Amino acid sequence: MTNKMATVRFIGGNCHALIQVIPEEDLTQFLQAQSTYWTKLLADGSTHIVDGGRKDSFWHSYNVDIYEKQLLRDSSNNFIYEYVRTQEIPRCSALTKKKTRCLHAAKLDENYCLKHMEK
């Protein structure tokens, strides 16, 4: 099965003027663009900002730019997403069975990931 692809243009925020081709079925009301920066919290309590790479087991939070789908397309028939706000996404606060901190990101406006919210 082939997905119909759509061209999306972002306005404002870190992704300003970015054009991306994504499957049309993924065009939800809001899209999140993850910042390449993330923070890590070390055992001594200090916080470090890291640019890029894979988040390790010390990761603490990262930011996403939230974009909202606009009703009208532009003159090239691209979908338009406009920047709404930047939000910090913290790490899930739950502890796993091994007594280590859950590695997943918390859901938007929550302290826990989807798995740990259900409990």
| Residue written as token pair 């894979």 | 54
When computed from its CA atoms, the radius of gyration of the chain, rounded to whole angstroms, is 17
Dump the DSSP string for 23-68.
EGGG--SEEEEEEEEEEEE-TTS-EEEEESS---TTEEEEEEEEEE
Instruction: Pick the closer one to Zn ion by CB: 9 or 91.
Output: 91
Nearest-5° angle of CA 102, CA 106, CA 112? 70
Which is closer to Zn ion, CB of 50 or CB of 94? 94
CB 32 within 8 A of CB 13: no
- Taking the least distance from each CB to Zn ion, the nearer of 8 and 113 is 113
Whole-number minimum distance, CB 104 to Zn ion, in Å? 5
Residues 64-93 that bind Zn ion (CB under 5 A): 92
Q: Which of residues 92-111 bind Zn ion (CB under 5 A)?
A: 92, 94, 102, 104
Q: How far is the CB of 113 from Zn ion (least distance, A)?
A: 3
The site for Zn ion, by CB under 5 A, has a size of: 6
Site for Zn ion contains 50 (CB under 5 A): no
Q: What are the residues binding Zn ion (CB under 5 A)? A: 92, 94, 102, 104, 113, 116
